[in-house]
Amino acid sequence: MTHLSKLGLSFCLVFVTLEAFQAVFLGSVLQSVDSFLLGAWVFGISVVGCAALTAVFRPHELVVSVRSWRIVLALNLFAAMTWCSYFLAVQLIEPAIVFTIFSGFVPLGTIFAHWCGLAEAATPRRRLVDIGNLVILASVLMLTAITVLGLSGFVRGNWFEGLAGALLSAISGVCTAFVILLSTRLNRRGVGPLAQFGLRFVIYTGLAATAYRLGLDDKGVATQPLELAWVVLIGLAVIAFPLYLVQKAIPLLHPSLIAAMTALGPVMVFLMQLIEGRVDYSSATLTGLSAYMFGALLAVYGSISPQTRLKSQCPNCET
């Protein structure tokens, strides 16, 4: 394994670790304010900061981005769909199930993208990866059935709301897969991670600000400026920064391997909850999660090989 490949894997591992950390230990802190207000600030700062730095140090990448506006627009739309569908799903069903279905449909989404004809989704077939993905698919279907039948820890409403939450979670994962694949395409045109991270959240930032103004996630309690500043700083550290690390990994690894690594998120969450000593899963949910973790670990193990890494590196890899 090359140094750059190891670096890309390290970025992905830090991503799933920080993502799990905020879900287990900081979830209540981040949920104390309107999620759309938090999203607007965190991604708004990211958009402005990354775009400004790119304009100063790599202005030619902004020129390439303008010429590739269709890809940039598609990235924005898929990123916005990812976050909007995820936040809606969390309102409907058990967060652990949302997170697991979302994570599972990132690698499954790359398969769907390959069926749709995206060249970046093509990857050598490996038996362990195929078996792992089948187990992931079976486990997310199991979790969906558990949710629809009312056997999970939480469903806001009846079977229809349960099914809607599961579908929104799946949509969020598939959209994330398309974000990874389209980012790979844009990177090959010469737009590095910093510029891409600033450009792909423009639409979502606007949507989040609008949703906040409409009060779609109003907690009924006014957020004090000092509290908001503290929560935004945490959000930048455990939401924006991990996502940027994935963006950095895109030029270094094959998209299918990044998707497989992303699917490890629920495994890390489960381990951290064991450390925390608080078990809040229903027994049925735990069964589905156990099957999922086996499939995710199998898919990652099968993906880490020379055949699944990119043969050439983009000159912007170190951006």
Which of 124-133, 199-208, 223-232 shows the highest mean pLDDT?
Answer: 199-208
Look at residue 311 and tell me whether its pLDDT is greater than 70.
no
pTM across the whole model: 0.87
Mean pLDDT, to the nearest integer, of 189-218?
92
pLDDT of 99 reads 87
Higher pLDDT, 27 or 96: 96
3-class SS of residue 229:
helix
pLDDT of 295 reads 92
* DSSP labels, 277-298: T-----HHHHHHHHHHHHHHHH
pLDDT of 282 reads 66
- Give CA separation, 291 vs 67, 273, 295, 301, in Å: 45, 17, 6, 16
Per-residue confidence at 310, pLDDT binned at 50, 70, 90?
very low
Phi first, then psi: give them for residue 316, nearest 5 degrees. -95, 10
Write out pLDDT tens, residues 101-122. Answer: 999 999 999 999 999 989 888 8
Write out pLDDT tens, residues 26-46. Answer: 766 666 788 889 889 999 999
Q: How far apart are the first and last CA of the chain?
A: 21
Look at residue 238 and tell me whether its pLDDT is greater than 50.
yes
pLDDT of 71 reads 96
Q: Is 268 exposed, middle or buried (0-12, 13-18, 19+ CB in 10 A)?
A: buried
DSSP letter (8 states) at residue 223? P
Mean pLDDT, to the nearest integer, of 146-151?
88
Mean pLDDT, to the nearest integer, of 215-224?
80
pLDDT of 243 reads 92
pLDDT of 3 reads 84
Q: What is the mean pLDDT of the chain?
A: 86
Per-residue confidence at 280, pLDDT binned at 50, 70, 90?
low
By the 8 A CB rule, do 123 and 256 touch? yes
Look at residue 134 and tell me whether its pLDDT is greater than 90.
yes
pLDDT of 317 reads 44
Q: Which of 24-33, 40-49, 72-81, 128-137 has the least mean pLDDT?
A: 24-33
pLDDT of 313 reads 42
How far apart (Å, rounded) are the C-alpha atoms in residues 98 and 77?
Answer: 21
Q: Which of 78-87, 115-124, 244-253, 276-285 has the least mean pLDDT?
A: 276-285
Higher pLDDT, 275 or 166: 166
